[in-house]
Amino acid sequence: MPGCAWEVVVELSAYSPEEIKEFEGILSSALAETLVTGIHIPISVMALRLFSAVRGGERDPERLKKIALGADVVQEFPLRRGPRASRHPAA
C-alpha cells in the first residue's frame, strides 16, 4: 500500500543522517514560506515532491525547496499537444 509508514522508513534509510537533516531543513523552510504566503500545501505533499526529486538526483537545496512548493507541478504533468485520442476505437 503506497504511503505506508514502513515505506517512509525504507525511503529514509537510503540517506545519511546529514542528508536527512538537510531535507528536514528544506521542508521546514518550505513550510515557513507557505505560512508567510498563506498558500496551503500539506507537508506530506511537499515531502513527496521533495523525495521524488531527490530520487531523480536533485540535490540543490533551493531547487528542492521550489519543487516541494510545487514549482515543477506543471512540468510533471505537461499539457497534451495535438489531437486527443478517442475513448472509443473506430469499428
Residue 78: which pLDDT band, with cuts at 50, 70 and 90?
Answer: very low
**DSSP secondary structure, the chain, as one string:** -TT-HHHHHHHHHTS-HHHHHHHHHHHHHHHHHHHHHT----HHHHHHHHHHHHHTT---HHHHHHHHTTTTHHHHSPPP-SPPPPSS---
In this prediction, residue 77 carries a pLDDT of: 44
Tell me the pLDDT tens digit for each residue of 61-74. 999 999 999 986 54
Q: Is the pLDDT of residue 88 over 60?
A: no
Class of residue 60 by CB neighbours under 10 A (exposed 0-12, middle 13-18, buried 19+)? exposed
Query: How many whole angstroms separate alpha carbon 10 and alpha carbon 14?
Result: 7
In this prediction, residue 71 carries a pLDDT of: 86
Average pLDDT over residues 15-32: 93
Show me where the domains of the chain are located. 16-74
The pTM of the whole model exceeds 0.85? no
